[in-house]
């Protein structure tokens, strides 16, 4: 009986163990799929889908098929799609707490593929970023002015200034008219003179006559003071209006002359008035090209950095694995190979020694792109290395592209304007260096045999097509800065100068006639100032002069004293003596 129970227990244990093993084998694919999708989605900041997972135990190999990485900026597209990824791991090292991947094969890499449905995006900021470039394009002025537009714009500014000056004329005339109404009339001025002469001719001699004359002079001065104040106000106002009006008129003429000079400068190949088409058209493209050139940094660096931080700073609530062997790396991918679907095996990337513990390993992580000549390009080369040394992440890489053929490459796609690089041959060289998180370097691009196509409802489509028809080749210089995960780009090119030259050449074919037309219109605008206003300004000057004379005459009355007006007794006696003697 006891023997029976022992066998029964043993069989039960074996059966339970077999059930657990069978359950593990049945669900291992699902667990690997779920774990991989979750981890990759967190790293990608957007949904990652894995169509199928295969695995085998000896040697431990995991194969992921149909891996799609959602583009956070365009959720309806994949940033990268992998037809198959195969990982060969060491099961023994896993039990020892180390991740040792001896071989990684990634096949059929494709970029910017369409998804069946939009993937979810973890970062709302990344999802909103898809609109940033379009908003910047809409904010740019992509209008190319025509010759008529230039002339209309310049002459229109002068015409508006003329209209404003006319309004100021009218307002100042009203103000002066109100001041003129307060001026003494000719009759009032004549009355002042008559009263003044009457006082002088009265020749008061007795005290009573002197008192009466003094009172009459005082009353006259009071009346003259009131009249003089209105004259003084008018004279000051007339001077201010004259100065302000002449200054406005001179400024208007100077502005009109400046507009003519601006037009002449514009017709002399000054491209400042033109939009920067290099940034508008090639900004996104260059950003994509250079980003792919530094993709090794952008993909390896955050993953290795995160792995290093997790080991160096584990959670205080988790158990810790103590690594007594400081000579071997706890995480290492010995070799990885990536091939691309678009170019039928002619392009592959080799990566070696992927780890965050380079000081233990003694060698850096290296990567190199291997390619053979195809119909698409003549040569592609990329080499680089990456390593954590003394707590700092350091890396460097160089790349070179020769004879890369671009066909029907979309540059701009908006509702009103679509731009396509129909064909071009691209040669590119560049380098990048990484120190910590700081990225530096640059790239030089030469594009030759270029052809462009423009379409849409925008008014500049035909003009752009004509201008870009003259562009056969140009160069682009790109400066790299910022962080490896979010690089910044500075674009410098001779394309804008070529377009400006083509645009100005087109303008100069009719420059003489257009310039003369602009000059005539500006002069016509100046002559459009109401002649009556200019005549009124001259009349105002004359009225001001009369006011000054009137003011001086009134001041003589105010300055007069009775004793100064009357003859002394001695002077009167001498005068009468001369009269008796017949003298003068």
Contact 289, 339 (CB under 8 A): no
Who contacts 560 (Cβ-Cβ below 8 Å, separation ≥6)? 196, 217
Give the pLDDT of residue 425: 94
Of 268-277, 359-368, 502-511, the poorest mean pLDDT is in 268-277
Q: Can you read off the two tokens belonging to residue 541? A: 């000057």
Please state whether beta strands 379-389 and 347-354 pair in parallel, antiparallel, or not at all (unpaired): unpaired
| In contact, 329 and 357? CB cutoff 8 Å | yes
Question: 547 is written with which tokens?
Answer: 């006011």
Query: So what's the pLDDT on residue 361?
Result: 85
Cβ-based neighbour number of residue 224 at 10 Å: 24
Q: If residue 182 lies in a helix (H) or strand (E), which one and from where to where?
A: none
When mean pLDDT is compared across 42-46, 125-129, 352-356, 455-459, the lowest value belongs to 125-129
| 439 and 481 Cβ atoms separated by less than 8 Å | yes
pLDDT of amino acid 175: 76
Give the pLDDT score at 234. Answer: 73
Confidence of residue 335 (pLDDT cuts 50, 70, 90): very high
Average pLDDT over residues 315-343: 69
Confidence grade of residue 230 (pLDDT, cut at 50, 70, 90): confident
- Are the C-beta atoms of 82 and 50 separated by less than 8 Å? no
- List, in sequence order, every residue forming a beta bridge with 488; answer none if it has no partner: 481
- Percent with pLDDT over 90 in the chain: 5
C-alpha to C-alpha distances, 69 to 77, 263, 286, 345, 466, nearest whole angstrom: 9, 53, 22, 21, 41
Distance CA 360, CA 362 (A): 6
The string of pLDDT tens digits covering residues 282-299 is 666 666 666 655 555 555
Q: What is the rounded CA–CA span in Å between residue 29 and residue 26? A: 7
pLDDT in tens, 172-185: 777 777 777 767 77
- For residues 111 and 117, give the distance between their C-alpha atoms in angstroms, rounded to a whole number: 16
How much of the chain exceeds pLDDT 70, in percent?
54
DSSP secondary structure letters along 44-82: HTB-EEEEEEEEETTTTEEEEEEEEEEETTEEEEEEEEE
What CA–CA distance (Å, rounded) separates 98 from 326?
12
What end-to-end distance do the CA atoms of the chain give, in Å?
179
**How much of the chain is helix, strand and coil, in % rounded to 5?**
50, 30, 20
pTM here is: 0.52
Give the span between the Cα atoms of 259 and 273, in whole angstroms: 14
pLDDT of residue 415: 75
Most confident of 183-192, 396-405, 516-525: 396-405
Domain ranges of the chain: 13-101+116-139, 147-266+529-581
- Backbone phi, then psi, for 479, in 5-degree steps? -100, 135
Q: Is the pLDDT of residue 303 over 80?
A: no
Distance CA(432)–CA(9), nearest Å, equals 66
* Angle, in degrees to the nearest 10, between helices 207-266 and 147-181: 180
Report residue 21 CA to chain centroid gap.
62
The Cα–Cα gap between 293 and 291 comes to 5
For residue 59, what pLDDT band results from cuts at 50, 70 and 90?
confident
The mean per-residue pLDDT over the stretch 209-235 comes to 70
Most confident of 35-44, 189-198, 448-457: 448-457
Cα–Cα distance, 434 to 124 (Å, whole number): 28
- What are the residues whose beta carbons fall under 8 Å from the beta carbon of 489, sequence distance 6 or more? 283, 286, 287, 290, 478, 479, 480
Q: How confident is the model at residue 80 (pLDDT cuts 50, 70, 90)?
A: confident
What is the rounded average pLDDT of the residues 408-432? 85
Q: What sections of 267-294 are H helices per DSSP?
A: 277-293
Q: What is the pLDDT of residue 74?
A: 85
Interval 106-135: pLDDT, tens: 888 888 889 988 888 875 544 444 434 344
User: DSSP character for 121?
Assistant: B
Write down the pLDDT at residue 245. Answer: 72
Q: Which residue has the tokens 């955050």?
A: 302
- CA distances 50 to 109, 295, 341, 343, Å, are 14, 22, 17, 23
Query: Between 433 and 164, whose confidence is greater?
Result: 433
Q: For residues 303 and 296, is the Cβ–Cβ distance under 8 A?
A: no
Under the banding of pLDDT at 50, 70 and 90, the label for residue 167 is: confident
Place of tokens 């679907």: 341
347 membership: H or E segment, kind and range: strand 347-354
Do 515 and 263 touch, CB atoms closer than 8 A? yes
pLDDT value for 570: 45
Query: Angle at the Cα of 409 (from 411 to 485), degrees rounded to 5?
Result: 65
CA dihedral angle for residue 34, residue 35, residue 38, residue 39, rounded to 10 degrees: -160
Tokens 């995480």 belong to which residue?
Answer: 331
Average pLDDT value over all residues in the chain = 71
Question: Alpha-carbon distance 54 to 226, whole Å?
Answer: 111
Q: How many other CB atoms sit within 10 Å of the CB of residue 469?
A: 11
Query: Measured over all CA atoms, what is the biggest interatomic distance in the chain, rounded to whole angstroms?
Result: 187
- Please write the tens of the pLDDT for every residue from 456-477: 887 778 877 887 888 888 888 8
| Per-residue pLDDT at 326 exceeds 70 | no
Only one residue has tokens 């090794």, namely 296
Predicted confidence band of residue 424 (pLDDT cuts 50, 70, 90): very high
């Amino acid at each position: 009986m006891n023997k029976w129970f022992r066998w029964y227990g043993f069989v039960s244990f074996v059966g339970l163990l077999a059930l657990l093993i069978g359950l593990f084998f049945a669900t291992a694919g699902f667990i690997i799929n779920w774990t991989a999708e979750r981890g990759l989605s967190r790293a990608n900041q957007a949904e990652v889908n894995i169509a199928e997972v295969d695995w085998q135990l000896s040697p431990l190999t995991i194969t992921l098929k149909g891996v799609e990485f959602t583009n956070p900026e365009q959720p309806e597209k994949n940033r990268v799609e992998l037809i198959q990824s195969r990982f060969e791991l060491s099961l023994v090292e896993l039990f020892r707490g180390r991740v040792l991947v001896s071989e990684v094969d990634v096949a059929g890499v494709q970029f910017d593929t369409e998804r069946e449905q939009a993937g979810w995006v973890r970062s709302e900021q990344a999802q909103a970023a898809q609109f940033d470039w379009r908003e910047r394009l809409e904010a740019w002025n992509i209008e190319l002015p025509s010759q008529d537009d230039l002339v209309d714009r310049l002459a229109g500014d002068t015409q508006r200034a003329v209209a404003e000056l006319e309004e100021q004329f009218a307002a100042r005339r009203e103000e002066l008219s109100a001041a003129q109404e307060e001026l003494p009339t000719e009759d009032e001025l004549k009355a002042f003179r008559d009263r003044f002469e009457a006082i002088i001719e009265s020749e008061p001699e007795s005290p009573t006559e002197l008192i009466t004359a003094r009172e009459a002079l005082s009353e006259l001065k009071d009346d003259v003071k009131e009249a003089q104040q209105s004259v003084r106000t008018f004279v000051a106002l007339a001077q201010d209006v004259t100065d302000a009006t002449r200054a406005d008129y001179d400024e208007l003429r100077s502005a009109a002359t400046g507009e003519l000079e601006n037009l002449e400068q514009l017709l002399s190949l000054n491209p400042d008035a033109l939009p920067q088409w290099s940034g508008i058209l090639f900004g996104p493209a260059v950003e994509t090209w250079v980003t792919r050139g530094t993709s090794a940094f952008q993909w390896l660096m955050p993953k290795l950095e995160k792995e290093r931080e997790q080991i160096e700073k584990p959670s205080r609530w988790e158990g810790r694995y103590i690594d007594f062997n400081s000579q071997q790396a706890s995480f290492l991918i010995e070799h990885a190979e990536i091939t691309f679907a678009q170019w039928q095996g002619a392009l592959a990337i080799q990566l070696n020694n992927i780890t965050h513990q380079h000081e233990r390993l003694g060698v850096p992580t290296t990567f190199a792109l291997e390619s053979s000549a195809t119909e698409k390009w003549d040569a592609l080369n990329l080499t680089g290395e990456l390593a954590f040394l003394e707590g700092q992440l350091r890396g460097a890489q160089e790349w070179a592209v020769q004879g890369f053929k671009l066909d029907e490459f979309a540059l701009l796609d908006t509702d009103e304007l679509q731009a396509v690089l129909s064909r071009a041959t691209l040669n590119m060289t560049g380098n990048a260096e990484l120190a910590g998180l700081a990225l530096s370097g640059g790239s030089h691009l030469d594009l030759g045999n270029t052809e462009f196509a423009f379409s849409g409802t925008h008014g500049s489509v035909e003009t752009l097509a004509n201008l870009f028809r003259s562009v056969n080749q140009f160069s682009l210089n790109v400066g790299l800065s910022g962080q490896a995960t979010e690089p910044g780009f500075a674009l410098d090119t001779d394309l804008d100068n070529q377009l400006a030259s083509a645009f100005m050449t087109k303008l100069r074919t009719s420059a003489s006639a257009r310039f003369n037309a602009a000059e005539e219109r500006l002069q016509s605008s100046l002559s459009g100032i109401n002649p009556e206003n200019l005549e009124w300004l001259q009349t105002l000057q004359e009225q001001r002069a009369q006011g000054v004379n009137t003011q001086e005459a009134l001041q003589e009355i105010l300055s007069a004293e009775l004793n100064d007006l009357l003859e002394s007794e001695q002077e009167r006696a001498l005068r009468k003596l001369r009269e008796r003697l017949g003298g003068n």
